[in-house]
Chains A and B, each alone.
Chain A
């Protein structure tokens, strides 16, 4: 089996265990305020880290390229309350246009 397949299957199993745990794990573990507060913070931290890395990293080097312009366009779209798919399309179109016209 390829590495990608193994990653897909392992992550599916892991995510399902998380889903089923909620209804099964003794509540006194999940009811601890620090567990709850940490779990609220995890998506914010990981998703923000992904935004940063996917915008500025190429492998292990940091660069500023068309992706950054795309991200700025996405933020503008979010401020204008655009739906998800528009945010993504605006970012992609911005980066593609900059490259097409040779700015990035």
Chain B
């Protein structure tokens, strides 16, 4: 039994390390895009340390770089960070932490650490594996994400004119790479295409940043429709089975 845990522990730690290294590649792009988009190296690094949630960081930088107002940049960034609240709900019973540890755990609650924690979830072992996977992945991503941000930011500072290097094309490419894994069915594609169309339609009429923010209404409509459809399906099933 102890031997078994020894092997499992090694696997979890190796996975955490490789996820951290893989995330580092995003970090380089983030650091570079942020600095070429007009933020200082210190502002860029502050985001990776204090915000530490990739999608939101890219969004803040992207909206500011496109000339959007600070308010819509902040709102877009925070809305993208809301999903971490649900990760917190999932992880809390497995981690079972309190006090200052809980404050640190919250900061490390991101896509990668939650996914790895959930993957190791086994109730009979008191979530031993989940705890290790969450902490190891969270810390590993934190370290590599910040080192990579610094490297990207310093590298970009040396580059000069962003347009010559195609940086303006790197930003949308970054966003499509972030959304791509979430586009797995017809529903998600409809939300994506709808939101893209609404944002473009509103662009001529509103300040940069605001159209993107308003597409959260598309998300609310999609959320309501999904729940209605689900309850209709349940109703159909209960009718046909009775």
Contacts and interface: CB of A to CB of B under 8 A. Distances in A.
Interface of A: 3-12, 14-16, 18-25, 27, 30-31, 33-57, 59-62, 66-67, 69-71, 73-75, 78, 83-85, 87-97, 99
A19 B222 contact: no
A59 B168 CA distance: 13
Interface string B154-181: 0000000001111111111111111110
Given A52-B197, A74-B172, A84-B26, 18 more contacts: A7-B70, A15-B53, A15-B81, A16-B107, A30-B85, A33-B230, A36-B223, A37-B226, A37-B227, A45-B215, A51-B175, A52-B195, A54-B172, A59-B67, A61-B204, A87-B177, A91-B170, A94-B166
Given A46-B216, A61-B204, A30 B74 contact: no
A22 B215 contact: no
B117 interface: no
Contact of B79 (A46, A73, A97): A46
Contacts of B223: 34-41
Contacts of B143: none
A43 B196 CA distance: 12
A44 B195 contact: yes
Nearest to B60: A11
A54 B177 CA distance: 13
Interface stretch (B5-13, B98-106, B125-133): B98-106
The 7 tightest CB contacts between A and B, nearest first, are A22-B88, A70-B169, A38-B223, A91-B173, A95-B169, A14-B78, A95-B166
Given A45-B222, A46-B80, A22 B70 contact: no
Interface residues of B, number: 102
14 contacts: A9-B46, A11-B51, A18-B85, A19-B84, A22-B84, A33-B230, A38-B222, A42-B82, A43-B80, A46-B76, A46-B213, A85-B29, A87-B176, A99-B163
B136 interface: no
Interface in B184-234: 188, 191-200, 203-208, 211-213, 215-216, 218-220, 222-224, 226-227, 230
Interface string B83-100: 111111111100000000
A91 B163 CA distance: 12
B212 A7 contact: no
Q: Which of B103, B173, B175 has the most CB of A within 10 A?
A: B173
Given A38-B219, A91-B170, A7 B73 contact: yes
B153 interface: no
B106 A44 contact: no
Contacts of A12: 46-47, 50-51
B14 interface: no
B84 A51 contact: no
Contacts of B55: 43, 47
A21 B171 CA distance: 30
